[in-house]
Structure 1
Amino acid sequence: MGFPGTWMTESKSVVYRVVPKCACSTIGQIMYFSDHGHFYDGDIHDAREGIHKWAQDESQSAIMDAVRSKGTFAFTCVRNPYTRILSSFFDKICGVQRNGQRYRGSLIPQLAQQYGIEVEGDFDQIAMFRRFLLFARDTIRFRKPMDPDIHWSAQAGHVSTFVANGGHYGRIFWTEKFDEGMQDVLNSIHVKVPVDLASIPRFNESEGHGPRRAHPVEDFFDDLAKHLIWEIYKRDFELFRYDFENPGNPMPLGEIDLDEVHRRLAG
């Protein structure tokens, strides 16, 4: 399987396992800047040079060597499952993408209609999100009516491919404590160009794709919605120490135990 979703600086200073909807645009730009002294001109996801990516055939041997030797510091970043699934809904289901089209063309709108998800005009955000949540659960648990999308599939699944294939994380941090976690990573590696996190903009490439959320996070999650969230994101809450009981609390309740993460995700 290799290391899908893995990026590495050209200087091989650091390896990063991308988790969608978890500050990956900002992290990728920081990695790019740390090698080149400037940001990539455009969405870092579109970059085909200046940074190694597993999706690029010519990068795979370099990434494989760095990960397997464990000589390059590796990290990833995670997010509260409640806010992450909401972000996926507003971006990928409600929003128009950079190319002016709906996400994944006509596929998602067609399937969303099977669940009564209508997001045109002044729609009921809470009702439509709960229908989307049922759709997301079906894709993850039953792979119907489509395979799960990377933007709402469980974070533990993304994180686990790196571990299962021989990788080892030196740090996993939370988007909710981004500066603290990213600074720890930078302190653990040697970069070609110093990075001042205080001056780094946040590259939210999905911002503006969809309507703004009109309600507090907790309003979207009634008892049934919480049941569905637990069904599909149980490991995310447990491994990354987020508060399942209170959707309105985005902050983790305790420290991530890296030994437990590697033990539980290695199989």
Structure 2
Amino acid sequence: MGFPGTWMTPSESALYRVVPKCACSTIGQIMYFSDHGTFFDGDIHDASEGLHKWAQEDSQAPITRAVTSRDVYAFTCVRNPYTRVLSSFFDKICGIQRNGKRYRGNLVPLLVQKYGIEVGGPDGKEEFDQVASFRRFLLFVRDTIRWRKPMDPDIHWSATSGHVSTFIANGGRYDRIFWTERFNDGMQSVLDAVDTPHSVDLESMPRFNESESHGPRRAHPVEAYFDDLSMHLMWEIYHRDFRLFRYDFENPANKMPTAEIDLDEVHAKLA
């Protein structure tokens, strides 16, 4: 199976397991800058050189060597399941993607037909009942993850622990897992632990939120989208994420972690 979703700097200063919707664009640009002294001009996911990526065949041997030797600092970044799945809904379901089209072609028409979801019209800018549509989307997410119907789960809303686990199951070990909600502290701890050709000033660099303008703005606070049934579904889908990465399941309004992540526990439970 290898190490899908793994990126590495060409200087082999750091390895990163990408988790969608968890600041991956910003992290990729930081890694790119740390080797080249400049940011990639465009969406870092489109970069075909300047970073080793598992999806590129000629990158697989150096990534495999780095992971198995454990000589390269390995890290990833996680996010509160409540805000992550909301972000997936507004970006991927309601939004128009950077190619000018809907995400995954017929996905949105399928959701409109089978789940009664509204997405704000053809351009995502019309008024619609965000809460009702999101809760229907969450039913769809549960169906894809539990029964793989009407399609396999998508990487943007499948559990963070599932992404994190493939790296561990295939022989990798993380030196650091940090939270999107405390991004600068976590990313700085990674930069402090590695030697890079170019230094990165996190305070002054731009943020690369490639999905920010794709969809409508969230009209309500996070907790407004989650009633008792929605929270039940969230626990069914993301219970490992809440437990392992120390997020508050009982209070959707609290996006911050409640305790430190235990790396030994993460490796033991996701191996």
TM-score w.r.t. the length of structure 2 is: 0.97
Q: Does the Cα contact within 8 Å between 1:112 and 1:132 map onto a contact in 2? A: no
| Residues 21-170 of structure 1: pairs in structure 2 closer than 5 A | 21-119=21-119, 120=121, 121-170=126-175
State the one-letter code of the partner of 2:52. H
1:68: Cα distance to partner?
A: 0.3
Percent identical pairs in the alignment equals: 75
1:106: Cα distance to partner?
A: 1.8
1:118: Cα distance to partner?
A: 1.5
Counterpart in 2 of 1:254?
259
Once residues 151 and 108 of structure 1 are traced to their aligned partners in structure 2, the CA distance between those partners, rounded to angstroms, is 15
Once residues 113 and 70 of structure 1 are traced to their aligned partners in structure 2, the CA distance between those partners, rounded to angstroms, is 48
1:249: Cα distance to partner?
A: 0.2
State the one-letter code of the partner of 2:156. H
State the one-letter code of the partner of 1:62. P
Counterpart in 2 of 1:231?
236
Matching residue within 197, 214, 223 for 2:219: 214
Once residues 160 and 129 of structure 1 are traced to their aligned partners in structure 2, the CA distance between those partners, rounded to angstroms, is 27
1:51: Cα distance to partner?
A: 0.3
Once residues 92 and 168 of structure 2 are traced to their aligned partners in structure 1, the CA distance between those partners, rounded to angstroms, is 28
Q: Does the Cα contact within 8 Å between 1:93 and 1:109 map onto a contact in 2? A: no
Counterpart in 1 of 2:246?
241
Counterpart in 2 of 1:205?
210
Once residues 187 and 198 of structure 1 are traced to their aligned partners in structure 2, the CA distance between those partners, rounded to angstroms, is 14
State the one-letter code of the partner of 2:92. K
State the Cα deviation string for residues 155-204 of structure 1 (Å, max 9, x = none): 00000000000000000000000000000000110000011111111100
1:264: Cα distance to partner?
A: 0.3
State the one-letter code of the partner of 1:130. R
Once residues 56 and 127 of structure 2 are traced to their aligned partners in structure 1, the CA distance between those partners, rounded to angstroms, is 41
| Secondary structure in structure 2 of the residue aligned to 1:85 | helix
1:5 maps to 2:10: no
State the one-letter code of the partner of 1:53. K
- Where structure 1 has 5 or more consecutive residues not aligned to the other structure, the ranges are none
| Secondary structure in structure 1 of the residue aligned to 2:153 | coil
State the one-letter code of the partner of 1:186. L
State the one-letter code of the partner of 1:76. T
| Alpha-carbon distance change, 112 to 171 in structure 1, aligned in 2, over 3 angstroms | farther
State the one-letter code of the partner of 2:263. L
State the one-letter code of the partner of 2:214. H
- Name segments (4+ residues, structure 1) moved above 4 Å: none
TM-score w.r.t. the length of structure 1 is: 0.99
State the Cα deviation string for residues 25-64 of structure 1 (Å, max 9, x = none): 0000000000000000000000000000000000000000
State the one-letter code of the partner of 2:48. R
1:174 maps to 2:189: no
Q: Does the Cα contact within 8 Å between 1:111 and 1:145 map onto a contact in 2? A: no
Counterpart in 1 of 2:194?
189
| Secondary structure in structure 2 of the residue aligned to 1:173 | strand
- Where structure 2 has 5 or more consecutive residues not aligned to the other structure, the ranges are none
1:107: Cα distance to partner?
A: 2.8
> Root-mean-square deviation (CA), in Å?
0.6
Q: Does the Cα contact within 8 Å between 1:90 and 1:210 map onto a contact in 2? A: yes
Once residues 22 and 109 of structure 1 are traced to their aligned partners in structure 2, the CA distance between those partners, rounded to angstroms, is 27
1:108: Cα distance to partner?
A: 3.5
State the one-letter code of the partner of 1:227. H
Q: How many correspondences in the alignment?
A: 266
